[in-house]
């Protein structure tokens, strides 16, 4: 683990601070750890999305070709979903679950 040598100040409303403190407490963390952890999670997500979505012209052509091709039928999945709509299957499972409850 690297040492902590940088400092960052943050100004926020009283309400925002109260919300952050309450959330940190629920997580069993101090305020600094909670805010830093949440900010780092978001920063990593933004950077990963940026790196994934940044395509060069050749990659864009490759992606467009892949999107334009007809979908491949996977026999096992086709058999699984044959004759069942998603809503009908969900309704069936919901009814079964309700009957099994005490």
Domain boundaries, the chain: 14-100
Which distant-in-sequence residues (6+ apart) come within 8 Å of 31 by Cβ?
20, 21, 24
Local mean pLDDT, 10-residue blocks, the chain (102 residues): 82 97 97 96 91 82 91 86 64 49 44
Nearest to 92 by CA among 83, 82, 81, 84: 84
pLDDT of 3 reads 77
What is the Cα–Cα distance from 76 to 95, expressed in whole angstroms? 26
The pLDDT of residue 98: 45
Q: What does the pLDDT read at residue 48?
A: 87
pLDDT of residue 71: 85
How far apart CA 89 and CA 20 sit, in angstroms, is: 41
Model confidence, pTM: 0.50
- In the chain, count of helices (H) and strands (E)? 5, 0
Total residue count of the chain as it appears in this document: 102
Give the Cα-Cα-Cα angle 23, 37, 19 (nearest 5 degrees).
20
């Amino acid at each position: 683990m690297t040492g902590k040598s940088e400092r960052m100040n943050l100004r926020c409303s009283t309400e925002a601070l109260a919300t952050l403190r309450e959330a940190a407490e629920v997580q069993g963390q101090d305020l600094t750890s909670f805010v830093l952890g949440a900010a780092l999670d978001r920063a990593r997500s933004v950077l990963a999305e940026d790196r994934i979505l940044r395509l060069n012209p050749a990659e864009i052509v490759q992606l467009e070709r892949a999107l334009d091709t007809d979908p491949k039928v996977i026999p096992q999945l086709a058999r699984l979903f044959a004759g069942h709509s998603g809503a009908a299957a969900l309704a069936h499972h919901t009814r079964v679950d309700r009957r099994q409850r005490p």
